Amino acid sequence: MKKVVLFLLVAILALSMVGCAQKAAEPGKPAEPGQAAGKVYKVVSLVNGNLGDKSFFDSAESGLKELAAAGRIEYKTIEMGGTDQDQPKWLETLNEVASSGEYDLVICGTYQMPDYLKEAATTYPNQKFLIYDDNTYVGVNQNVVNITYKQNDMGYLIGTFAAKMTTETSVDKINPEAVVGFIGGIDSPVINDFLYGFLEGAKAANPDIKVDTRYVNSYVDTATAKEIGLSMINDKKADILWGVAGLSGNGGAEAALESGKAWFIGVDSDQELTLPAAQAAITLTSGLKNVGKSIIWLFDEWDAGRTYWGKEVRLGIPEGGVGVVTDKNFAKIAPKAIQDAVLAAQADIVAGKIVVPTAIGDTTNAVVTLRDAMQP
């Protein structure tokens, strides 16, 4: 009997000691304060180009550096080159790193990589992959997470800014007409998602605003985009143009510069850093896809037990996935009241006071109705 009592006492003591130990994070719930930081992930980032692009690749690198500095990952970046001659190396490198079994996560991005990634992910189903700014094959491979960005959130901030600025006649090049221009690449759900947010933000900032919306029908035709931009400026009195058309969009910057009567707004990355100096000088701000922050977000989720393999996650302002440039010309040229209006709109989106509609999956064509109603 004494032995039984002694055994029970030991068991109770052991259980009480376990209860005093730190709890592991429960799947689907945030990690609790004081929990162990978790494992250090081994990561490789494959760049289908080179660092120094002042765009997506540099943004991804900045996020990885931040994670490494915090002791959360060990990583290396492989620059594979971005020319046609380099492309055969892309699949070869994907296969090489996946077959090594060395990495917890292989990262790549942009529209050029999904076919290569699909092949590698199929060949190596136990290797986890992340691809940013692409959703071509969502769900095809259960070992891939696709990160995309809520361009409608971004558009709302740009629309707020453009609508406020276009009547600020104390600023050079701004005329009294409340007209701005949107140069889109192709009339498609993704481009119209930028547009939907832009229209909603502009209308909320100025109910009388007009938005001249036109499409280049190409992502590489700067000449046509320039013609469109000049027509918007000279025929419709637009004094701010937002180019959302890939390389074509830069034609809007050329039009604004040549006319001497308009400003340009960039997209995806900080175009004040990438455009020629004269065009950068007339670029007021840019809408941003924050690739680096989105990678950090994924690791935050992973550590908290939330994973998205085989799925697409669309990140907006609350997650830090998108935003706007708020330094350089924005800070120097825009009056403080306008800067504050943009930051207030951003805060309202984060707080859930503003929910920006999306054109993605919308079968009502509400964005088309709004687009047509706001034409000058």
Name 167's Cβ contacts closer than 8 Å, sequence gap at least 6: 174, 176, 178, 206
- Place 16 in a pLDDT band, splitting at 50, 70 and 90: very low
Q: What is the pLDDT of residue 37?
A: 53
According to CATH, where is 3.40.50.2300 located in the chain? 41-149, 151-289+321-373
In whole numbers, what is the pLDDT of the chain averaged over residues? 90
Query: Does residue 17 surpass a pLDDT of 90?
Result: no
pLDDT tens per residue across span 285-327: 999 999 999 999 999 999 999 999 999 999 999 999 999 999 9
pTM above 0.75, yes or no: yes
In this structure, which CATH number among 3.20.20.70, 3.20.20.20, 3.40.50.2300, 3.40.50.880 belongs to the domain 41-149? 3.40.50.2300
* Phi, psi at 341, each rounded to 5°: -65, -40
Beta-strand relationship, 263-266 and 283-289: parallel
**Helices 222-236 and 250-259, axial angle in degrees (round to 10):** 40
User: In angstroms, rounded to a whole number, what is the distance separating the alpha carbons of residues 314 and 127?
Assistant: 22
Q: State the DSSP code for 246.
A: G
Measured CA to CA, the distance from residue 129 to residue 231 in angstroms comes to 45
CB 323, CB 161: distance < 8 Å: no
**Fold (topology level) of 151-289+321-373:** Rossmann fold (3.40.50)
Token pair 């090049």 in the structure block, residue: 173
